[in-house]
Structure 1
Amino acid sequence: MDDAALLALGLAGYVRAVAEEVGVPPEGTEFEVADTTTAYLALPERPGPDLMLVWSGGHGWSVAVETRPSEPPVTVAHLDGPLVPPPEVVARFVADVLAGGPGRPEPSAPEPSAPEDRRALARELGGYAP
């Protein structure tokens, strides 16, 4: 199996595990392994703008305001730390942001200029593959 297939299996399992911890049903999730590796979780409705939890293979997890499809999302808070934190850490981050906790809108370290290391991502996510 090639790196892209292994990465897709691992990412699918990881997104499923995070969604369960956060309380997002499967139909509220999406992920993609293409030129970049990304995931999306629609956060539960609440007063105010619609929020989403997004992940990228270069930045990790962020909570962002959903915008029109033609506009980029507006990041509210970014989860610093490892690129693939345990699902319970992501759930705690989301709960803190939804409770009004302060958030850092950008990663503390800039996104690497090198392309994603798909082999390393596949290894990191491998434990979540079915």
Structure 2
Amino acid sequence: MSLDDPVVSVGLREYLSAVATELGVGLESCTIDCDLPRSAYLALDWRLDRFPGRDLALLWDERHGWSAAIETHSGEDLIVLSYLGGDSVLPAPDTVARFVAALRAGDHSAGRPDPPALRDAGQGLADDLRPYLV
């Protein structure tokens, strides 16, 4: 499978659009990196009470799935707070929204602290994204 597989690129864009819509933001808040491992960034206009000066973002990659992170002030890598976990790197958009809602509500038990190893990069992602193709 090539990195420019249209099923993966279109399917991933549609999946991210569904997640963004569920969170009340647009696809313009997303960036996608199609290098292996494929990954995405979803900017949110929210802050957590425990980090009042830092914007919240969601990160996704094809090995670990979703994580919530806060922006840094220095342009360094984001600081991951929690990984969603579960059994899929592509959980339903409402599952991702519930994860974010729990974090915003101060639920420190939401997610897990370490990255789950859900799959190898480049393996079977096209098949999992087919339902998101329009």
**TM-score (norm. length: structure 1):** 0.85
Aligned to 2:131: 127
Gap runs ≥5 in structure 1: none
One-letter amino acid matched to 2:63: G
- Give 1:35 deviation, angstroms: 2.6
2:122 to 90, 111, 117: 117
Matches within 5 A, 1:4-43: 4-43=5-44
Aligned mate of 1:97, from 88, 99, 103: 103
The runs of 5 or more residues in structure 2 that have no matched partner are none
Task: For 2:46 and 2:84, locate their aligned partners in 1 and report how far apart those are by CA, in whole Å.
Answer: 21
What is the letter of the counterpart of residue 89 of structure 1? T
SS at match of 1:54: strand
For 2:82, what is the secondary structure of its paired residue? strand
Deviation digits for residues 20-68 of structure 1 (CA, Å, limit 9, x no counterpart)? 0011122211112123211111112336111101100111000001124
Counterpart-to-counterpart distance in 2, 1:65 and 1:39: 15
RMSD: 2.1
Q: What SS does the aligned partner of 1:45 have?
A: strand
Which one scores higher on RCO, CA 8 angstroms, separation ≥ 6? 1
Cα distance, 1:110 vs structure 2: 4.2
Alignment of 1:63-82 (within 5 A): 63-67=68-72, 68-69=74-75, 71-81=76-86, 82=88
**Kept in 1: contact 2:42–2:59 (CA 8 A):** yes
The runs of at least 4 consecutive aligned structure 1 residues that moved more than 3 Å come to 109-112
- Is 1:65–1:73's contact at 8 Å kept on the other side of the alignment? yes
2:67 aligned residue (62, 69, 74): 62
